[in-house]
Chain A
Amino acid sequence: MSQYAVGLCEILVDEFFGECCSEIASILLRHGRMNLSMLLKRTNLPAPKIRQALASLMQHHMVSFVTAIEQLREVTYYEAQWQEMYNLIRKGKDVYSVSLKLNQETASIAKYVSTQGRARVQDVYSAFGKSPDGTDEESRMLQQNITDLIYLKYLVVVQPRHLIPVGDQEMQLRIKFLEQRKSENVSEIKKNREVNDSVALEMARLQSSDMAENQGLIRKPKDSIPRPAKRKRRNATTSSMTGDLNEILDDENSILLPDPAAHVRVNRAKFSFLARNQRLVYWAERRIGKTTAIVYSHLLAILESKFVGSPSPATVLTITTMELTRNFPKDIDIESCFAKSSNVRKPPAKAALDQLDELEMEEQEEEDEDYEENIDDESNSKSKVLVQHLELLADTALKFITRVGNRGMGEWKIDFAYLTNMLRAVEFENILDEKLGDRATRLLRIIKDKGKIEEKQLANMALLRQKDLRTVLQSMAEMGALELQEVPRSSDRAPSKTFYLWFHRSERAYSIFLDQLYEVIAKMFHRLRDERAQRSQLIDKAERIDIKGKEEEYLQKFEQAELKRLRSYEEKLLLQASRLDELILIFRDE
């Protein structure tokens, strides 16, 4: 864990939780896990404050604990979770993602849960002034929103064991299983192996039960709840995804409701997954085109909803064209981007697009009349066009999607492990391009292709002079993108008698780059804190009760200008931090 990441976490905790929590967090981050007495020794804070700070951080899952029995006493060790601390920076983005995917009310719920860290469903209801059994329209809508959030795993249920670090959970399971098998008369090795297997099985079972569909929801028979008539209207206007949701609920004879006693928190992993998909769509658009990128984004959206929760990188998801056709919105024009080879000379592209749009609208209107008879034809033709798009996606060098089979007009799979690596490589090349120019990117690609290569051969291959190469290679090495391998020809390693081979190690390059990103973001927050500190008097003045809200009356012109400048600095710094955070998401792949 790099020092820059630690510095960044400290300053983030300071921004949100204050100085006490930040001190505790920094001690835990820098010195590893410790118990309360060790913490007391390292800090000047009084014990009650330490306990409060620990409890606050624990509520937000930034500190995990484990209670072990040592020497006949119970000792609790606390450990810092730096990924969770880093996630503070993303709180705004999560709320916005929820509002995009669902609706604005769900975003309010997500925002509330974000500020509480972890909330009981009951408390969510009461915070908005409603109760779980309320029957008025707003209560019902709140209930539906919460159900959606839990079902789609934007909010995930928390169990007490989630606060225990994974290693300790396994240790506890291992001890339990060893106890069970103590009396058996098998050899040590075999016993250990069996215990390891049981531990792994149990962990997998617990993990899958976390991701289970009905986690946090309880079933109630439909009839016990009075259903207002407005529900039907909601069915018609919601997007296809929640339309499916309602269908699921209506098919069976019961409704899923959120369990009031369950504790929920925002599921960050899902948002990382969504953000990564967005990035993939962006690259698809750059490589192929806008319409195909839209098709790809819908494909990914269907897979997201199929996959309740975030998939582990090892999973491979398949989808058939028929499914895509069924869920594809009807108002997107996907045909006009393909050039039809015909004898008629085509008018300019934009006019053609408009024309075809009009034609398609007219066609659709006509078709709506004899809807039942033509439905197969229309979806068939749509499928064919979709297949064309999907084949375009599959044929690129980046392999966004691959064809697996032929059922349902073509079965396609998306391999997320491969795509993650591919995304990192592409982004890294992009960054190298912006920093050092296209010569550097070209050289990087040649080196990656050839493995380990000497400067002379590289010059031949790249058609450049050696001395032109040298500066570029040197700057790339400073960035961490390249390394040198020495192969001595003589036994005394004279420089004139050794080969120097350049090669690229992607893992190392990405982790060096990640480190630099942490450093930059930490510096931005330091700068932000500094700018605020410079203007602390002004801020205090502006926050006075009699001035707040009436700044134009009470503050002088230069003070108002200064405040405005401060706001613009804040915006610029936070904006840049959030843009860099996108890169961190790609390279760290949580």
Chain B
Amino acid sequence: MRRGGRGNVNLGGMTWQEVLEFNARTGPTKLYPDRDLPIQRSIRPHELLEIRFFNEIRNSFIQESAFYVRKEKANAVPINDDGLVRYSDRNKPKRKNENLRLSDLDLDPKFFPEELRKTLGAEGGIKKRARRKLDMKTFIDFTINTEDLKDDAPETANPTNEEVPEEVEDEDEDFGDDDDNDYGENYFDNGEGDDFEDYEGEDGGVLD
């Protein structure tokens, strides 16, 4: 049976050879076809400043502003995820905005609908606490260090090169990374094949 019928055959400019080749291609295309990944252009000074301001504004939202609404209220006694109170909790950063509420901000009620006005706080109610005064000169920092601008290319390229072969290898190999501490060899001692002479370090003493 001839492809395309008699007479006018519209192959779209291809020859029979190419049509046959095209049909002979089997197998799916690669999920991640080979690509030349472009390298990111290095950071310019103005971009560095922009990112710095973005981060500062974001941090001020998260840490200091009353607009960050948390789901759980912070208790006077901090409790961890597992319900226990620990000694190291006293070192946890106390966010300034855990006790701040919108009513501390003294917002103007005419910009809000009726039903939200009570979240803004009663008029003439509790006076807002004195807020930290911002110093005009140090509030915003425009200094650029040349180290910030330099490409960390050699340093960050190597870790990524190392990571890829690591993922391919066995998972256990990953744990062999921390050489600096005491738990190096005993990290994953699941008890197989241990006579008690092999018992070296603390079993299960790795705090996570």
Binding site for B on A (CB under 8 A): 15-21, 36, 45, 48-49, 51-56, 58-60, 65, 67, 74, 76, 89, 91-93, 95-96, 99, 104-105, 107-108, 111-112, 114-115, 117-118, 120, 123, 127-129, 138, 142, 158, 160, 163, 263, 455-456, 459, 465-467, 470, 495-496, 540, 543-548, 556-558, 565, 568, 570-572, 574-576, 578-579
Q: Which of B88, B119, B134 contacts A112 (CB 8 A)?
A: B134
16 extra interface residue pairs, beta carbon distance < 8 Å, beyond A45-B71, A575-B47 = A36-B115, A51-B116, A52-B69, A55-B102, A58-B116, A59-B111, A76-B114, A92-B57, A104-B142, A111-B140, A467-B13, A565-B159, A568-B156, A571-B43, A572-B40, A575-B43
Complex Cα–Cα for A546 and B92 (A)? 9
Q: Could you say which residues of chain B place their CB within 8 Å of the CB of A546? A: 91
B10:A17 contact, CB within 8 angstroms = no
Q: Could you say which residues of chain B place their CB within 8 Å of the CB of A545? A: 91-94
Interface centre among A53, A496, A572 (most CB of B within 10 A): A496
Binding site for A on B (CB under 8 A): 4-5, 8-10, 12-14, 18, 40, 43, 46-47, 49-58, 60-62, 65-71, 88, 91-94, 101-102, 106-108, 110-116, 118-120, 131, 133-136, 139-140, 142, 152, 156, 159, 177-178, 180-181
Q: What are 25 A-B contacts with C-beta separation under 8 Å? A: A16-B67, A18-B69, A18-B70, A18-B71, A48-B119, A55-B112, A59-B107, A65-B113, A92-B50, A95-B140, A96-B46, A99-B140, A111-B56, A129-B133, A163-B111, A263-B111, A466-B13, A467-B13, A496-B5, A496-B8, A540-B92, A544-B91, A545-B91, A548-B93, A570-B55
A578:B136 contact, CB within 8 angstroms = no
Complex Cα–Cα for A568 and B139 (A)? 24
Q: Could you say which residues of chain B place their CB within 8 Å of the CB of A579? A: 47
Q: Could you say which residues of chain A place their CB within 8 Å of the CB of B177? A: 558
Q: Which of A55, A65, A160, A540 contacts B119 (CB 8 A)?
A: A55
Q: Which of A53, A556, A558, A570 contacts B69 (CB 8 A)?
A: A53
Complex Cα–Cα for A291 and B40 (A)? 29
A76:B115 contact, CB within 8 angstroms = yes
Complex Cα–Cα for A296 and B21 (A)? 56
Which 3 pairs show the lowest CB-CB distances between chains A and B?
Answer: A92-B54, A466-B13, A92-B53
Given the interface contacts A52-B102, A91-B54, A91-B57, does A17 sit within 8 Å of B108 by beta carbon?
no
Q: Could you say which residues of chain A place their CB within 8 Å of the CB of B12? A: 455, 466, 470
Q: Could you say which residues of chain B place their CB within 8 Å of the CB of A540? A: 92
B70:A115 contact, CB within 8 angstroms = no
What distance in Å separates the Cβ of A191 from its nearest Cβ neighbour in chain B?
31
Q: Could you say which residues of chain A place their CB within 8 Å of the CB of B111? A: 58-59, 118, 158, 160, 163, 263
Complex Cα–Cα for A114 and B181 (A)? 45
Q: Could you say which residues of chain A place their CB within 8 Å of the CB of B57? A: 91-92, 95, 111, 114-115
Q: Could you say which residues of chain A place their CB within 8 Å of the CB of B133? A: 127-129
Q: Could you say which residues of chain A place their CB within 8 Å of the CB of B43? A: 571, 575
A565:B116 contact, CB within 8 angstroms = no
Given the interface contacts A54-B116, A96-B49, A565-B159, does A575 sit within 8 Å of B8 by beta carbon?
no
Given the interface contacts A92-B57, A127-B133, does A51 sit within 8 Å of B119 by beta carbon?
yes
Q: Could you say which residues of chain A place their CB within 8 Å of the CB of B94? A: 545
Complex Cα–Cα for A49 and B68 (A)? 11
What distance in Å separates the Cβ of A572 from its nearest Cβ neighbour in chain B?
6
What distance in Å separates the Cβ of B77 from its nearest Cβ neighbour in chain A?
17
Complex Cα–Cα for A45 and B69 (A)? 11
Complex Cα–Cα for A91 and B60 (A)? 12
A578:B93 contact, CB within 8 angstroms = no
Given the interface contacts A108-B140, A129-B134, A575-B40, does A456 sit within 8 Å of B49 by beta carbon?
no
